[in-house]
Amino acid sequence: MDFILSRALSMRLLLITALVATMFAARAAEAPPTPARLEPVVTGLESPWAMAFLPTGRLLISERPGRLHVAAPGGKPGPALQGVPAVDAGGQGGLLDLVLDREFAQNRRLFFCFSEAAADGKTNGTALASARLSEDETRLEQVRVIFRQQPKLASRLHFGCRIVESRQGLLYLTLGERFHAMDQAQRLDNHLGKILRLRKDGSVPPDNPFVGRADALPEIWSYGHRNPQGATLDDADRLWVHEHGPQGGDELNLIQPGRNYGWPVITYGENYGGGKIGEGITEKPGMEQPLLHWTPSIAPSGLALLRSARYGADWQGSFFIGSLKFRHLERVKLDPRTLKVQARGPALPDVGRLRDVREGPDGLLYLLTENPGQVLRLRPAAEPESR
């Protein structure tokens, strides 16, 4: 009898195992294949942070230690450009984001942000500069710092530092709260944990939301941010930003002028090592809810809205975000009318520590990884490899 029961149990387990295997095989067959493959474009970079596409077909790339390089696709970076101002590199600081002026083809102007030391050498803050790239692409000319974050602090953390130019020719700049000064993100008399809106000479547009308020800095566009390291515009010229949560609670937000995004009063994260932050609440009147949050954190960096149809209709209109923590490319697709999430999750696994994501002039996605330092291009799977 024991033999018969044992044999029957074994047969049952085999049937269950076969059924489970069939189910997983069916799901795998139903899952759409990844519509892209990776190919290297530039290699040999050291801690790269941002990239921009020059009209010549080459790339301009920043390295956090304080260097700018021009690189041709298929090669290594050229010599470091001359004229870059002194950068206080260390911790999370260094030479960070860069963008080309929308009229770069005519004026050769670019903007970049970096961690700048104070005169005393003890404190630092995020600075935004404009410059002109020389005709031979070997140096920066007419370098001018147009904004300096105040107050400067003794910190190596949370510089923020993403730049976006609107169709109106105005600059948005994201600023971190420098970690130890998180409570200052709720005050309007400083630049910590803020997003700014500036003219290209650093002056303030007269229609900024806090212009004319005695208790607020007029350059502030929104506040209550932690450490925003991804920013882009949609087709309606609306600003989208993601930011790091503390331990959980990374956020994607559609930024509205004058709004309070809650940090550190409300958050879906918690203290490192565990424990509530402040009151441990996730909602409060007068503070914006994120459109989505990642808990656990993915540690997002870089943000691109894919307009191209080269990868197919499913990817078109999606946000693509680098994950520093999980080393994958995250995809988020929202309903354009309701802004409800239609799809989210890894689009490509195990790419590397992704620092920047951009859509190139060719409609392809370009990824910047820290270690190894390289630019990767996502080639649609149906297209032949580049030669």
Q: What is the pLDDT along the chain (387 residues), one digit of tens a residue?
A: 333 334 443 444 333 333 333 333 332 333 345 678 999 999 999 999 999 999 999 999 999 999 999 999 998 999 999 999 999 999 999 999 999 999 999 999 999 999 999 998 999 999 999 999 999 999 999 999 999 999 999 999 999 999 999 999 999 999 999 999 999 999 999 999 999 999 999 999 999 999 999 999 999 999 999 999 999 999 999 999 999 999 999 999 999 999 999 999 999 999 998 899 999 999 999 999 999 999 999 999 999 999 999 999 999 999 999 999 999 999 999 999 999 999 999 999 999 999 999 999 999 999 999 999 999 999 998 777 654
Domains annotated for the chain, with CATH where assigned, are 35-380 (2.120.10.30)
Determine how many CB atoms are found less than 10 A away from the CB of residue 126.
Answer: 27
Active site amino acids: 158
What integer pLDDT is reported at residue 273 of this predicted model?
Answer: 87
From 58, 74, 75, 65, select the one nearest 138 (Cα to Cα): 58
- Tell me the two tokens of residue 154: 């003794």
What integer pLDDT is reported at residue 385 of this predicted model?
Answer: 66
- Whether the link from the prior residue into 35 is cis, omega within 30° of 0, is no
Single pTM value for the model: 0.90
Distance CA 352, CA 320 (A): 15
- Chain CA centroid to CA 251, Å: 11
From 305, 123, 149, select the one nearest 225 (Cα to Cα): 149
What integer pLDDT is reported at residue 34 of this predicted model?
Answer: 65
From 347, 330, 352, select the one nearest 381 (Cα to Cα): 347
